[in-house]
Amino acid sequence: MRIKTLAIILSLLSGALLSASIFLWIAAGEIYDYEDTFQATLDAPVTDVVLCLAGGKKRIAYATNLWFKIKQEDEAAHRKPPVLFLSGVGPKAGVETLIEQGVSRDLVSQLKKDEVVFENISENTFENAQLFAAFVRQNHWRNVVLVTAGYHMRRAQFILKKVLDPDVVVKTATVDAVHFDRNQWHQDAYAIRVTAMEYIKWLYYRYSY
43 lies in a domain? yes
Average pLDDT in the chain: 85
Q: Please, are residues 123 and 133 in contact by the beta-carbon 8 Å criterion? A: no
66 lies in a domain? yes
* CATH number, domain containing residue 67: 3.40.50.620
194 lies in a domain? no
51 lies in a domain? yes
The per-residue pLDDT for range 109-159, each reduced to its tens digit, is 888 889 999 999 999 999 999 999 999 999 999 999 999 999 999 999 999
User: In the prediction, which pLDDT does 117 show?
Assistant: 95
Spatial separation of the C-alpha atoms in residues 145 and 147, rounded to whole Å: 7
19 lies in a domain? no
Question: In the β-sheet with 83-87, what is the strand arrangement from edge to edge?
Answer: 116-119, 83-87, 49-53, 143-149, 169-175
Spatial separation of the C-alpha atoms in residues 176 and 121, rounded to whole Å: 25
| Domain boundaries, position 150 | 37-177
17 lies in a domain? no
How many other β-carbons are positioned within 10 Å of the β-carbon of residue 149?
Answer: 22
Q: Which residues are within 8 A (CB) of 26 and not within 5 positions of it... i.e. 6 or more apart?
A: none
DSSP, res 27: H
Q: Which long-range contacts (CB under 8 A, 24 or more apart) does 133-137 make?
A: 133/160, 133/163, 133/164, 135/49, 135/85, 136/49, 136/164, 136/165, 136/168, 137/165
The per-residue pLDDT for range 38-55, each reduced to its tens digit, is 986 655 678 999 999 987
The per-residue pLDDT for range 145-186, each reduced to its tens digit, is 999 999 999 999 999 999 999 999 999 999 988 788 888 888
User: In the prediction, which pLDDT does 25 show?
Assistant: 54
Q: Which residue, 193, 152, 201, is CA-closest to 173?
A: 152
5 lies in a domain? no
Q: Which residue, 55, 170, 175, 208, is CA-closest to 123?
A: 55
Read out DSSP for 43-94? TSPP--EEEEE-SSTTHHHHHHHHHHHHHHHHHHTT-PPPEEEEES--TT-S
148 lies in a domain? yes
Q: Structurally, how many domains does the chain consist of?
A: 1
* Strand residue runs (E) in 88-209: 116-119, 143-149, 169-175
Helix/strand/coil percent split, the chain, to 5: 55, 15, 30
